[in-house]
Structure 1
Amino acid sequence: MPYLLRHTVLPLVAVLAITGCNATSAPIEKSSSATETRYEMVLKSEVNWEHLNPARGDKSPSAGTLWGDRNGRQATGYLLKPTDGFSSPPHIHNVSYRGVVISGLIHNDDPDAAKMWMPAGSFWTQPKGEVHVTAAKGDNTLAYIEIEEGPYLVWPAIQAFDNGERPVNVDQSNIVWLDGSTINWLPHNDSENKLEIAYLWGEPNGDQHYGALIKLPAGFNGKLVSEGESLRAIVIKGQPEYQSPDQQQSNNLTPGSYFGADGSSEHKISSNSTTETILYLRTNKMLRIE
């Protein structure tokens, strides 16, 4: 795997080349019954906020878990909410993480690097053991952070080590969106308002987890079908209406809200007539839009 340089904001096509995504793989047949599926949903207004790094108290950004457990051993997704002007001291983490900017501006880089502010919709990764600083600009900065295993800890820079991974910063302007002319499970639509997907990490043609952004156009009204063992979905943009089979009515999801399921699942989603919806999705099988 070629090394990726920290100081360059990379086009997402480079990430696709590295991960070897096969974007045109067909959906995999459903292997479990709907009765085995467990659905869950967390509205952003329901998030329980706490200090990300308790040792720093009020100087630490706030964090709110959406799924999993940051203090446990399992994979976890949570929201990061730093204050305007926040800048961390140089530090490392014991685990690698991925991040997607939801609002505001985030900088994440080597301590001596010039500021590269990533706006909403941008994606970055931070390898464990690498010294870095994280900074924020904006009164309502929010990001989604995901780890493959916990616990998530902050260690001093003096304990730095090289685990072989290299960081990636992808500005939202460099995200490569694919539509139905390339992805055979997306409806093909030649208009400007079309369904699109951008693969961020992993390989969607295998059984391992992968992550992607999916764009639902304004006025979309349909169903997201997952054949995976699990689906985790976070609203990055828009305020879609959402309903799972175990809900009697739909819910309005603001950016930072989460829905998911363990087991093959179906999720009704609709965008309003004027605003597109962007979701970050994590699953381990191909998806379907109906």
Structure 2
Amino acid sequence: MRADKIPYVAEVPDQPQRLGPLWGERAKGPAGTLLKVPGNWRAPVHAHTADYRAVVIKGLWTHWQMDDGEATTVELPPGSYWTQKANEMHDDACLSDTECVILLINDTPYETYMAK
């Protein structure tokens, strides 16, 4: 499928991030999904119900994880990747002035939830 034909949808109402399904259905099982966000966007602290793997396709990204009570972060240019364990709170941001695109891959049903 051509990139301009991917049917992006809002992940959360009134939020700018968009999801473009490539294969599977992430809420039901194995899936690959593109996440597209505007430049200089930062996600709220959140977690997911499944482990996932991610690859930066476009833009400069950063991903924070808690490590012994302190947040660690790394700048991730295109081609970089990370893994995230289920139910671990973390944060993400697009550091670029232009949009970021991330490939998200999950093997089991996957939903996002916010910190309480």
Cα separation, 2, equivalents of 1:49 and 1:80: 9
- Alignment partner of 1:71 is 2:30: no
Q: Distance in 2 between matches of 1:103 and 1:116?
A: 16
Structure 2 unaligned spans of 5+: none
For the pair shown, the structure with the greater C-alpha radius of gyration is 1
Quick one: distance in 1 between partners of 2:41 and 2:72? 16
Structure 1 unaligned segments of length 5 or more: list them: 1-41, 159-290
Contact between 2:65 and 2:91, CA under 8 Å: does it hold in 1? yes
Q: Structure 1 residues 110 and 77, CA, compared in 2 at 3 Å: closer, same or farther?
A: same
**Alpha-carbon distance in structure 2 between the residues aligned to 1:156 and 1:142:** 21
Q: Which has the higher contact order (CA 8 A, sep 6+)?
A: 2
Contact 2:24 2:30 in 1 (8 A): yes
Q: 2:61 aligned with 1:102, yes or no? A: no
Displacement of 1:115: 4.3
1:88 paired to 2:24: no
Q: Residue type matched to 2:30 in 1? A: A
Corresponding position of 2:79: 121
d(CA) in 2 for partners of 1:63, 1:126? 18
Letter in 2 for 1:105: L
Shift of 1:64: 0.2
SS, match of residue 14 in structure 2 = helix
Asked if 1:153 corresponds to 2:108, the answer is no
TM-score if structure 1 supplies the norm length?
0.36
How well do the aligned residues superpose, as a CA RMSD in angstroms?
Answer: 1.7
Q: Which residue of 2 aligns with 1:246?
A: none
The CA deviation at 1:85 is 1.2
1:140 aligns with 2:99: yes
Secondary structure at the residue paired with 2:77? coil
Shift of 1:129: 0.7
1:117 Cα deviation after fit: 1.4
- Secondary structure of 2:102's aligned partner: strand
Q: Matches of 1:90 and 1:140 in 2, distance apart?
A: 20
Q: How many residues align?
A: 112
CA distance in 2, matches of 1:129, 1:114: 17
Separation of aligned partners in 2, 1:114 and 1:97: 18
**Structure 2 residue aligned with 1:17:** none
Tell me the distance in 2 between the aligned counterparts of 1:92 and 1:140: 22
2:46 and 2:99 map into 1 onto residues whose CA distance is: 24
Give per-residue Cα distances to partners, 1:219-249, cap 9 Å, x unaligned.
xxxxxxxxxxxxxxxxxxxxxxxxxxxxxxx
Identity %: 29
